[in-house]
Amino acid sequence: MRAHRARATVVVAAVLAVLAGLLAAAPSPAVAGDPGAGSLITEIAGRRADARLDRQQCALLGRAWTGSACSRHRCQRGADRMRPRVDAEVCLYRGRAARPYGFEVDARLCRQLHRRWVATVNLCASDPRRQLGVVARSPLCRAPNTTYVMHREVEGYWDECLHPARVAALASLASAQGDRFQTVAAQRSRVLCATRPGQDFANGVCGPRQGGVPPAARGGVLLVGDSVGWRSQNELAAKRPGWSLDSVPGRTIGELDARVDRYRTDHLWPDTLVVALGANPAAGYDGSDLVGYLAGLPARTRVVLVVPHRRPGTASPSTVRKVRSYARTMRRLDRTRPGTCLADWQRKASRNRGLLVDGVHPTTPGQKVWAALVKRSAARCS
């Protein structure tokens, strides 16, 4: 047994030595945050710790453990500040380009990448120490895939955890080809390839799709959302595992067409489009823009409109008015546009303040309510 462990240690050391010569620093994209997060009127401001997280989860998020619970305001050594997202706090790693200890990777994809998912804050644990490139026996990985490999930690190039034997094989291939380890690893990841529009995995390599979209992949259900949908994404995925859920914090309603275009590359037009946007207005985008975009959809595409809600005081008065104008447009479309249904989150949330943690985002129980509402509304619209 000792000899076996010794050989394993030598193999890992050798692999990391090879990688040291192959790795190059990965670019660091800006950290995205929710607009107006600093102005939120929180209902949990007095709770300095979050008892929902255990000590391991707290460490994964870079947050400090305060004896019996995970701090909402303090970070562990090495992290210098908290990202201000109410009830979804995560620390940032110090440095010129501060990086978070967790990213908005879909829970299902996070697990396929063999990374640790922290359901309480809806984040996929991420290693912000980008200068390392590869980390053996990382606590962010799920065994037996224990080697954390850093790509760019952006859509289509998320970090992944690999088996040490796989890392050794890829490192040998990269050395033989005279290429970067990350380049070789990223192009030979079946999971990552599936997240890149217009790409297929064939003969062990990811590359441009040959031919059109296969019939079996066409249509489907696409949800495009913002931070409200993001916080409820895990709950909705459990109810509707076949849906494509595309929500991230800070997304504006003006990004709807670009996200649908991205989906169309691999699926053509969706059979059902769920629009869960509007809590973050887009400059120059009003109700007529939404009406015009939906008018251009194929007649067969059904539309579910999730009515946005922002309580006064959570943003500037003009922002709150804009959100309400989107809500009015959606109600009008529900009455006038064929094949359109409403998921009235605005009415449900305004009648039950306990569903919201800060006047915008759902509480943990509220996330389940939001997911159930969207599920029922889509079923009614099919």
Looking at residue 366, its pLDDT comes to: 97
230 and 296 co-located in one domain: yes
End of a domain among 208, 235, 253? Answer: 208
138 and 228 co-located in one domain: no
Query: Per-residue pLDDT for the chain (382 aa), expressed as one digit of tens each?
Result: 444 444 444 334 444 443 444 343 333 333 333 333 333 333 344 478 999 999 999 999 999 998 889 999 999 988 888 988 889 999 999 876 789 999 999 999 999 999 999 999 999 999 999 999 999 999 999 999 999 999 999 999 999 999 999 999 999 999 999 999 999 999 999 999 999 999 999 999 999 999 899 999 999 999 999 999 999 999 999 999 999 999 999 999 999 999 999 999 999 999 999 999 999 999 999 999 999 999 999 999 999 999 999 999 999 999 999 999 999 999 999 999 999 999 999 999 999 989 999 999 999 999 999 999 999 999 999 7
d(CA 357, CA 365): 10
Residue 8 lies in a domain: no
Looking at residue 187, its pLDDT comes to: 97
Looking at residue 78, its pLDDT comes to: 82
Residue 33 lies in a domain: no
377 and 229 co-located in one domain: yes
Looking at residue 77, its pLDDT comes to: 87
105 and 239 co-located in one domain: no
d(CA 142, CA 113): 9
User: Looking at the chain, which runs of residues are DSSP E strands?
Assistant: 49-50, 63-65, 70-75, 79-83, 90-93, 99-100, 102-103, 117-118, 123-125, 134-135, 147-149, 160-162, 199-202, 205-208, 221-225, 244-247, 272-276, 302-306, 340-343
237 and 374 co-located in one domain: yes
Nearest CA to 281 out of 307, 257, 304, 250 is that of 250
Looking at residue 18, its pLDDT comes to: 39
Residue 142 lies in a domain: yes
What one-character DSSP code corresponds to residue 114? Answer: T
Residue 347 lies in a domain: yes
Is this model's pTM higher than 0.85 or not?
yes
Residue 19 lies in a domain: no
End of a domain among 208, 243, 258? Answer: 208
Looking at residue 21, its pLDDT comes to: 43
Pull the structure tokens for residue 49: 């710790």
Residue 59 lies in a domain: yes
Domain containing residue 181: 45-208
Looking at residue 359, its pLDDT comes to: 95
End of a domain among 208, 227, 262? Answer: 208
Residue 81 lies in a domain: yes
**Contact between 50 and 43 (Cβ < 8 Å):** no
d(CA 322, CA 277): 12
94 and 202 co-located in one domain: yes
Give, in order, the Cα–Cα distances in Å from 101 to each of 49, 61, 104, 125, 208: 18, 5, 11, 6, 32
Residue 11 lies in a domain: no
Question: How many domains are there within the chain?
Answer: 2
